[in-house]
Structure 1
Amino acid sequence: MDTAALHRTIDRLCREERPRIIGGLMRLVHDLDLAEELAQDALLAALGRWPQTGLPDNPGAWLMTTARHRGIDRLRRSRLLDARHAELAREIEQAQRDAETRAEEARDDVIGDDVLRLMFVACHPALTIESQVALTLRLIGGLTTDEIARAFLVPEATIAQRIVRAKRGIAKAGTPFEVPRRADLPARRSAVLHVLYLVFNEGFAASSGAHWARPDLCAEALRLVRVLAGLMPREPEVHALEALMALQASRLAARTDAHGHPVLLAEQDRARWDHALIDAGLAALARAQAVRGPAAPAAYELQAAIAACHALAPAADATDWTRIAALYGRLLALTGSPVVALNRAVATGMAAGPAAALPLVDALADDPALASYHLLPGVRGDLLAKLGRHPEAAAAFERAASLARNPRERDWLSGRAAECRAQASP
């Protein structure tokens, strides 16, 4: 493995293992800031050591062992080694001795794993829902405050404040590191599901970074929602979110070409879609509908139904856009989300033509939540191009490119702008 490939592998492993390490440490030290610091120490040690020694046989276990050793060393060096620190040091040392007696550290337990435990700590009902979601996205998804801010369509400073307040709230409340009793799960269900939804979305369409998507985030979000489905089998929205993730993830391999450039849904090679994931998603959607019974479907189920329309269409021109537009209408009535309104406009354009959709998009132009949302001018540019209004379309695509943070997406939007300028030339 060449040096560049090794560094990419190390970066990926560190990103994937970070939430597990923090979760495992939190169970021992009961201090979120300390767990984060020790995890970061271990990751930095790996970045310094592995390029010289090569990857260990079990990178995750190496990182956890290193983090525990760093914790013991730090506590021993502290001039304030009070009774609590001494107790923590003993706990970490005992955990280390226990781990060394096993060939591989057991990650999962009967109700989930340390990542799931960490989610339930961060989603404690004593915190506001906004703080719960922001903190968990930071811990589990490894998202930066900027990426989380873009997911919420709010300023970065707002997210930073939410994360700080959440950590203080956990420390002040002395929140125990444990999954709540089964009867208490519903109190945290909405926040946990929302977090998983946003983590998956960041993986499906990365807001920044060199790649169009981050399949590792999608896979982890889907894994965790499946754990939740086992814990909460009578909750339709858990099954619905599992369905949505599986159906969306089925298209990941087809969303980029061999060079990593974006491939739009209508142009994707459907033979590259993962039909096992499609089958799993449709089965989860059926479970959600069966558990829900006669009640009206909620947000995740409506989104899963939209994804199912795409998955079941044998070709792009066979997509039932009229049904998709209607489903988005129901979702908009339920959520009031301007992003859903934009998606409904796209579906309306596909079902009834761009002239029908353009007024719906223009009606969103003054929505403050979409002021920096690159897909708003991007959608407008596409509709204008279809209507033959190429100079306006070029300007809209240029605006979208200026707002896009992902370089792959920015390049694609700039390319669309150039195409429209060329078509507008005499």
Structure 2
Amino acid sequence: MPDDRMVALENLQIVFFFISGFLVSRVLIKVRLPQKLVRLLLGESHNSLSQTLLYLIGTAALMSFFIPNAITVLTLLPVLDLLSRAFRATGDHRVPTILTLAVLYGANIGGMGSVTGTPTNLVLVGYLQARDVPGADQITYLNWLLWGVPLVAVLTLLAWGVLCVSFRTWREDAARVQMPVAPEATEHPWQHRALGVTLAYLLSCILLSFLLTAFPQWLTPILFATGAFTVGLAGYLFAPWRRDEGPLLTGIDAVSGLPKKGLELLALVLLLGGIMYALNLQGWLADRAQFLIPAALPLLALLLIIALLTSYATELFSNTVVQLALFLVLLPMAEPWGFDPARTLLVVTLSCTCAFMSPIATPVNALAFGGMPGMLLWRWLTVGAVMNAVAALVIAVYVFTFIDFGWVG
């Protein structure tokens, strides 16, 4: 099977997960679980903005372990709107930006935690296997979790610290926070059913993702099973339970309240990424990137330069384009320069997920920026620039210190 086709088929599972996750997210919104989550985040005593940010970024990161991070953002956008209304009484016009960045950072960071968290992770696995790179056999679903979970935890706490320090969130007066919904507006008789559907979806994602990475020779039947689950889920959600109740989800439920601007910006980002790939922009970038990576450096310094270059280049180009461009440059350099190719390409993959500055850097950024009104672009850019540098440093040090594929140069 051609290499490109293999990668495309592996990413098809992400597409099925995305469709299923979208349907589940619409059910959660219908049964008012975002409203209930807001009450839990704020608490009876009205948690401070700093506390709320920690809960929010942690929730987004945890969700993105198991479901596509774009679905995480789409699910949490109603939560952001409610929280913005709750903190409106404080008079701080920066609150929508702060809250949105928390979800965006958490979703992007959480996507690094599992091999199926983002499509770029699967691109790495397919690339290493197709080119028989030493250490590729050690990148399994379980191994990725073993190194991914601690990395996500560290970056989540650091991202929370960057947001709190950058916006001085401790100055917000928690006593002035107003609950935007009444207690009865957070209840719905179908919430238990929705949670059951969500649990089934999460378990299917974990199981099918594990099977795909553990048994790549069973690619076709695993993809068939993933597609069958998506079709079965849709049938279950749209079929009426009883005549007097109706279905869990209707066509109107599936499309009402969607962030139009966010989806338009997301479509633009995907279109630009496709055009860049079709024009072989990754080849053009590869020709220029090789002059920006100095030889004869200690491995840690080299990994840091690669992480910084990847992160900031992704702000201007599609993350997949940047990833493939640096793969083309770094893999041939590995043996002559004496560094571990799998570990180096892992740094590229993790770093192209951590692009926090530009609204068009990743699909998650586009969806969050377009889906939330009142965003302060300048603050987004400046805080994102700091977060990019912090993430690049952590990724380089973490991979250098804790990840070893047993390569001998």
- Identify whether the pair has TM-score above 0.5, normalized to the shorter chain: no
With the length of structure 2 as denominator, give the TM-score of the two structures.
Answer: 0.23
With the length of structure 1 as denominator, give the TM-score of the two structures.
Answer: 0.22
Bigger Rg over Cα: 1
